[in-house]
Structure 1
Amino acid sequence: MTETFHGYIETTQDVLLVFEGCRRGLLPRVRRRLQEKERKTIQSGSVFVFDERESGIKRWTDGFIWSPSRILGNFLIYRELDKRSTDKKLSLSSISGADARQRSYSADQTNSSSAAAAAAAAADMTADRNRERRLVGSLSDSYKFRKDGLVKKTMAIVVNGVSQHLISYYNPEDILQSKLRTPSSVAELAGLEISPDLLVKHNFRIPPVVEPAFDEGDPMQASHYPHDYGGKLINTNINIFQKQNQKKK
């Protein structure tokens, strides 16, 4: 089984680019359920797209044990578990931000810590928490997360009455270390014009704003993607929603 894409799905725009790549035949869709040996090859960076009608897949199975889903923008986020357990709580995720926080706590407890250092440590802790939330969703849960486990990030939309699903996997450390590329950073995908069929508003909790292409030499024409994390610039596609709204007026 071939992955649809290998990398990190950061934003809704990344999802749309992958769906568009599949629609044009540039990227392969999954056309059947994964076999057991194929499930074992899932790794950080694996991304799969399937069409329910084409594949016959109603529910994706991958052999992992996951936490309940958490909503993060237009995505659902799941975290890999060691085992099913509801009697133990993990207050914070175990990615590298924990190390930074521990250093902050230690620094705060030393006699030589100044008010400025304490303020800086608090700011670092807040930044760590925000960064973690973008990667793993909720910072607390009633489940025991697997150390160095994967995160599953998914989105589904309906196109012409048929559900299209994107399933992605990543290790947060790989994102922090910039080991995985995003579809928006791949030239062959970043320049694709998104089909209006993929931009139907009811598919999104937060409707994506896809801006018209602009001249990169004119900063006055540049605009940002306001609803997704990271403030990514979108400069390749037509703002379907704005045109539809103008027609209604």
Structure 2
Amino acid sequence: MPIQRPTCEGIRVRSPHDAHVIFHGVATRRLPMITRRLDTEERRAITSGCVFVWEERGGPNTEPMGLGIERWTDSIRWGPSRVREEFLFYHEKDDPALEIDVSYDSDVPSPLGSGPTHVLVRENLIKQTYSVFVETSSGRRKWHLIAYFTQNTVDYLGTVDDIPCLAGLQVPPGTYRSARSAKGPGRTRSTDQPYLYGSSAVNSRQTYNVADFISNMSARHMQEILAPLEYLENIPPPRRHPVDEKALMSFVPALS
């Protein structure tokens, strides 16, 4: 079975507009669609900058025929989702370790024993997802985009503007309808208008910084595990050390 390559590599998805360009690149056969679930080797090859587009299976027995995937699997454990505009973001839960073989040039036995002589730990991945409904020759279909990146590499990844077959590609308005918007009232801001994240998202009212977003996620997580304020207010202050108490009282003789 031939190895499936990502739909795009080495890029970040800055906005729904970018996602629509990638979807349209798939629809016009400029880019490949993922037609089956990734195998073990393909999952191991996932790295920052990989983007995958796949179609949700619409009926029984369609995946073996290459007509959709029931659900996406990447063998990575993810934390709870966080919503940002039309995207969902997930943080990898475990610290991933990649074992690599390195020759041990020494007369002294390797301290690691007979196993790998070196372990390389990569940065945890962040998964970004976006889903749309699209009308095809076979009827209405649901397409998904999965993008992977890390906090430290996102600003160094390319964009759809760096892919020759996508640069300047015009997406017909309304072709790709956000699946999240379809669940409720429509948003006031058109998702065809780009907003950015990363270091370029500094001076625009319609931008956000993904590093700040990740930091805020961590801050919210810490808030979730703090004790209630009412409890903290009723806790008596800790008693000072007798030496400190005596030194403080020396400044206020009347209280001694």
TM-score, scaled to structure 1: 0.55
* Equivalent residue number for residue 80 of structure 1: 92
Letter in 1 for 2:33: R
After TM superposition, list the pairs within 5 Å mapping 1:105-184 onto structure 2.
148-160=123-135, 161-176=140-155, 178=156, 180-184=157-161
The CA distance in 2 between the partners of 1:26 and 1:226, in whole Å, is 32
**3-state DSSP of counterpart to 2:70:** coil
1:39 aligns with 2:43: yes
The CA distance in 1 between the partners of 2:176 and 2:159, in whole Å, is 20
**3-state DSSP of counterpart to 2:153:** helix
Identity of aligned residues (%): 33
Letter in 2 for 1:66: W
Q: 1:60 to 1:201 in 2, by over 3 A?
A: closer
Letter in 2 for 1:77: F
User: CA offset at residue 175 of structure 1?
Assistant: 1.7
Query: Which has the greater radius of gyration?
Result: 2
1:190 aligns with 2:167: yes
Letter in 2 for 1:11: S
Q: 1:34 to 1:154 in 2, by over 3 A?
A: same
The CA distance in 2 between the partners of 1:81 and 1:42, in whole Å, is 16
**3-state DSSP of counterpart to 2:5:** coil
User: CA offset at residue 40 of structure 1?
Assistant: 0.7
User: CA offset at residue 191 of structure 1?
Assistant: 0.8
Letter in 2 for 1:13: H
User: CA offset at residue 197 of structure 1?
Assistant: 4.8
Q: 1:203 to 1:78 in 2, by over 3 A?
A: closer
Q: CA RMSD in A?
A: 2.7
User: CA offset at residue 201 of structure 1?
Assistant: 6.4
User: CA offset at residue 187 of structure 1?
Assistant: 4.3
Gap regions ≥5 residues in structure 1: 84-145, 212-224, 231-249
Structure 1 residue runs of 4 or more that deviate by more than 6 Å after TM superposition:
none
* Equivalent residue number for residue 25 of structure 1: 29
Describe the superposition over 1:44-88 as per-residue Cα deviations: whole angstroms up to 9, x where unpaired: 1111001124543121000000001110111000000118xxxxx
The CA distance in 2 between the partners of 1:203 and 1:35, in whole Å, is 29
1:4 aligns with 2:16: no
Q: State whether residues 79 and 91 of structure 2, in contact with CA within 8 Å, keep that contact through their aligned partners in structure 1.
A: yes
How many aligned positions are there? 154
Letter in 1 for 2:91: R
Q: 1:228 to 1:71 in 2, by over 3 A?
A: same
- Give the one of 168, 177, 191 matched to 1:200: 177
TM-score, scaled to structure 2: 0.53
The CA distance in 2 between the partners of 1:30 and 1:50, in whole Å, is 5
Letter in 1 for 2:36: R
Structure with more of its chain in helix, by fraction:
1
Describe the superposition over 1:67-117 as per-residue Cα deviations: whole angstroms up to 9, x where unpaired: 01110111000000118xxxxxxxxxxxxxxxxxxxxxxxxxxxxxxxxxx
Q: State whether residues 30 and 55 of structure 1, in contact with CA within 8 Å, keep that contact through their aligned partners in structure 2.
A: no
